[in-house]
Amino acid sequence: MATQKSGNTEYLLLLRTFIVHAVGIMLMFFSYKMGWLQKVISTDTLYISRVIILLGVFTLVMGTIKVWTFTKELNVARDATKRFRSGGKRAVLDLLSGSNSRTEEFVKLSIDAGAENRSGVVRAYVMKLERKASSLDHFLEILPMLGLFGTVVGIISAFGALDPLALDKSGPLALPGFMIALITTAVGICFTVWFIFIRMLIGDGVGQLTETLLALPLEGEKDE
């Protein structure tokens, strides 16, 4: 029942993704209007924040593509469920024929395996879906690590600019280094949090797709 309720809106998962992106883009636009974004780019003379921004945008784009892929697969799986109720297995196979979808692959494997071996097919397929969903997870470590790297480099640069014998004069020279340390940390955290929300939606898509596929009673009703 939960699956059918969530299926009332075919692209709800993608809509949630766009809402997350809209919030992130509005915050970036606000930062631009306040002059913070320009200050980040101009202050970071080591270009670490630029690297984090580019990598973060790439990660978000790839994550959105994954959400779109799982959304399409989820719609195919739900259509297959509706078709099964009206026409049985043959109707499902006719619907999925040539679709090159994960639902088609799962249905064929399940039918070939039979009811007694279906549990093994299910376990293997769920693991495959989870592996596909987690292919971008390493960026959740890379982005904050780059921010931490920028922090260390910025602090080293700041202390390198200090003259122990003339701290009053060399103190201002250390400010750019400390700014780099703070800026890279903030940029890394922002993009990491942004992608965490996208990753949660990817996981939600995998969960809904798995639930929908498992709800197909392929081992029950026979074709007439």
Report the pLDDT value the prediction gives residue 144, as an integer from 0 to 100.
Answer: 92
Report the pLDDT value the prediction gives residue 46, as an integer from 0 to 100.
Answer: 81
Q: Which of 51-60, 115-124, 191-200 has the lowest mean pLDDT?
A: 115-124
Residue 111 located in a structural domain: yes
State the total domains in the chain: 1
Residue 95 located in a structural domain: yes
Residue 69 located in a structural domain: yes
Q: Work out the number of other CB atoms within 10 angstroms of the CB of residue 194.
A: 23
- Residue 124 in this model has a pLDDT that exceeds 50: yes
pLDDT band of 9, cuts 50, 70, 90? low
Report the pLDDT value the prediction gives residue 45, as an integer from 0 to 100.
Answer: 79
Q: Which residue has the tokens 């982005």?
A: 143
- Residue 100 in this model has a pLDDT that exceeds 90: no
Residue 220 located in a structural domain: no
Interior CA angle at 150 toward 149 and 152, to 5°? 65
Q: What is the mean pLDDT of the chain?
A: 82
Containing structural domain, residue 142: 2-214
The mean pLDDT of 131-145, rounded to a whole number, is 90
The mean pLDDT of 49-58, rounded to a whole number, is 93
Helices (H) and strands (E) counted in the chain, each on its own, are 9, 0
Report the pLDDT value the prediction gives residue 119, as an integer from 0 to 100.
Answer: 76
Residue at 147: amino acid letter: G
Residues sharing a CB contact under 8 Å with residue 50, sequence separation 6 or more, in sequence order? 41, 44
- Residue 108 in this model has a pLDDT that exceeds 60: yes
Residue 91 located in a structural domain: yes
CA 223 to each of CA 92, 214, 218, 219, 220: distance values in angstroms, whole numbers, following the listed order? 11, 19, 10, 11, 10
- Residue 192 in this model has a pLDDT that exceeds 90: yes
- CA nearest to 41, candidates 31, 52, 32, 49: 49
Residue 224 located in a structural domain: no
- CA nearest to 133, candidates 55, 24, 56, 207: 207
Q: How far apart are CA 220 and CA 224, in angstroms?
A: 13
Residue 222 located in a structural domain: no
CA 205 to each of CA 19, 63, 93, 110, 127: distance values in angstroms, whole numbers, following the listed order? 16, 12, 23, 21, 14
- CA nearest to 43, candidates 163, 190, 170, 154: 154
Q: Which of 25-39, 55-69, 133-147 has the lowest mean pLDDT?
A: 25-39
Residue 168 located in a structural domain: yes
